[in-house]
Structure 1
């Protein structure tokens, strides 16, 4: 007991001596601060391969949205304490390191009035497999919200090695949420756009975003951030054609030539007939398409993350993802999607299609 008490004291001292660090500032319009709101979506799934007994009653929707409320610079913990501790243990970080990261995202801030938000779209987001929750992509999704988008992350409370079964479940959850979205917007008296919807995600969530776009007419465009394709997207026939704007944003090795690095990144582009981009990032690995890339700036390095500077990778993802949705959902063109530039020197333009 005495040893345990001393250990607790040491851990407390370590946490107290770690300087608080804000995650990168958002670049959106000065009017738009960012709020966060969580909702449990009731959905009985009797074929959930990740749940105890294969039955789950619900999943979690985390909503990042623009708000006119101003926090006056007040910072709050970037991750909830339980999640922060989980990741500190997983990545062998000093206790309290992730807890020291702060954000100005405001919990349960008021939504904009309907007249304040008429152009912007709703984006559905899915995190990676293995427990990468939406909060571990806060930097990117809050950046999008600061520019007027409403971003809804769909999280499931379980994880599993049954990757293809989970992929199918992710697409089912997306369809269920889109069915629920108009009712949720009415209940919250929130101006969510239910007509112009984009989907994106990291790893498994990125694959599911593209997969959901095939048969759901409500999803108008999709981004896969470094995820292996499954289902229709993985076949090397014309059936893989999404016939909607799609973007593949991945690590440098994802050329699709080396089967060990995912051959689907080579076959998928061949069949796309609508607007399409495949952009790779020099020095990035799979881990760098989440907030883990920023963790390198406070940790020095993170296991399996690439050598690219974490701050630069954050800026690159923010710019490319927003430019894609600005163009495909709002009709706002951006040269950043078309060719290398001095602003983003780490990008490799590996595939493109612009139908006439």
Structure 2
């Protein structure tokens, strides 16, 4: 199975030699590459949009199906975090993780030498339970990589909310090191025991697509601000296997009209007759045409609608998450000095927002049309035309 670098420690230090495993166990740092001194709690970059950002958490239970990983659970429980434009900027900032989630994430990632609660002290920008504002807002569903909680996509989610989107991020229970459920119960990674099974990736994306459909079903009745959403304008983005799940959700649910895969090996099968919904691949050089991962080459041919294949030079698997921004707090050496954490976050936000602005808001985005002098790290690939532009 293709490898999608599991989590921070091994990913950032070993990016040059690690394989892309969708579901592999984390790799500890090399002893030959000592970590720098931790810098203390991290601060997420401020959203670039003009709206204040609020956030709230929903706990949902799907009684129509059992949990695929916990054989003792006859219902699927999910934690859904919403980010949205808010009326005011003042108020209590939402936590990035709980201390227990931080502890389990560090343990699973084999990161030592820092306080166990360090990630719970990360400074976010969204105000907890703030009053939402706006109307006819497009909705973006976010799905994280395997073993990682949704919180590792917080910077992107806050930025999209600041630009006028509602974001519904899903913690897929038992597929990350820690998910806090209703009542404070913490679910750990039961799926981690199965990640080498044949067909595992296909099972995961099928289950995540079902999670997405259930959340879309439930949102109107479970969130007071849901009337502000334009349910005809829904897209999905995900990192790693979360990006692969965007393909699966789009194929299965007609409500999801556009999608983005951020550096994820794909598993869901696209109809042989082609797939016309807008889609964007954005990834590291591992996912360039003819690179180590060949699933994008396979699926590109079946995408018959608007499509883009973008590669960030100097990026690694975690460049599309908060992990590079957290690296200093975790005492982790950045993977590649050519793409700083701040620049990786800026490019991810820019191209994800451009895609969504084009396909959910109908606003032309020249940055998606080809190379840009402002973004020299970005390669636009069109394999049928032989090479990057």
| Higher RCO (CA 8 Å, separation ≥ 6 residues) | 2
More helix by share: 1
How much does 1:334 deviate? 1.2
Q: Does 1:252 align with 2:271?
A: no
Q: Where in structure 2 are the equivalents of 1:80-229 lying within 5 Å?
A: 80-89=98-107, 90=109, 91-92=111-112, 94-95=114-115, 96-112=117-133, 116-118=134-136, 120-130=137-147, 132-159=148-175, 160=191, 161=195, 162-185=200-223, 187-188=224-225, 190-229=227-266
How much does 1:188 deviate? 4.6
Structure 1 counterpart of 2:352: 321
Deviation track 1:44-73 (CA, whole Å, cap 9, x = no partner) reads 26453322436444211111111012217x
How much does 1:231 deviate? 2.6
Matched length: 321
**Conserved in 2, the CA contact under 8 Å of 1:280 and 1:349?**
yes
Structure 1 counterpart of 2:85: 66
**Conserved in 2, the CA contact under 8 Å of 1:46 and 1:54?**
no
Deviation track 1:315-336 (CA, whole Å, cap 9, x = no partner) reads 0000000000000111111111
Gaps of 5+ in 1: 1-16
Q: Which has the larger radius of gyration?
A: 1
- Give the match's secondary structure for 1:317: helix
RMSD (Å), alpha carbons: 2.4
How much does 1:21 deviate? 4.3
How much does 1:20 deviate? 4.7
1:42 to 54, 57, 61: 61
Q: TM-score, normalised by structure 2?
A: 0.76
Question: How has the CA–CA distance of structure 1 residues 244 and 76 changed in structure 2, closer, same or farther, with 3 Å as cutoff?
Answer: closer
